[in-house]
Amino acid sequence: MSTIDSTKVLSMRAAFVEQSGAIKRAAGLGGAEGLGGVQKAGGADFGDALRSALAQVNELQSNSSNVSAAYERGETSDIASVMLARQQASIGFEATLQVRNKLLSAYKDIMSMPV
């Protein structure tokens, strides 16, 4: 029976916190914005935050693929790390999908407003 490596768990927790922060920044909920989610002058714009969040999700997806492929080739026998990587990628993708759906809904609401 193997023991749980606390440093791996803490590093995964830090990755989740970082990803959560990137998603909050992409959604306009971070601390650098002004009132109503409007950016202050000189701050990072929405497009950069969105690109950063998408790049992190892409990195999680590729990491998941690499870890899964390594397990299938027999290079590693740690199924827990494989499942954690896959779940991280899945959660990142689902969060990205929800942000996209909210943005699309907001766009449709704005486009249907009378002028």
The token duo for 15 is: 């990755």
54-112 pLDDT, tens digit per residue, is 999 999 999 999 999 999 999 988 899 999 999 999 999 999 999 999 999 999 999 99
pLDDT at residue 3, as a whole number: 57
| Per-residue pLDDT at 62 | 95
Facing residues of 33 across strands?
Answer: 39
What is the model's pLDDT at position 13? Answer: 73
* C-beta of residue 21 within 8 angstroms of C-beta of residue 30: yes
pTM score of the predicted model: 0.57
User: What pLDDT shows up at residue 95?
Assistant: 93
Beta-carbon count within 10 A of 53 CB: 22
Question: What stretch of H or E contains 31?
Answer: none
Residue 75, classed as helix, strand or coil, is coil
Q: Coil, strand, or helix at residue 80?
A: helix
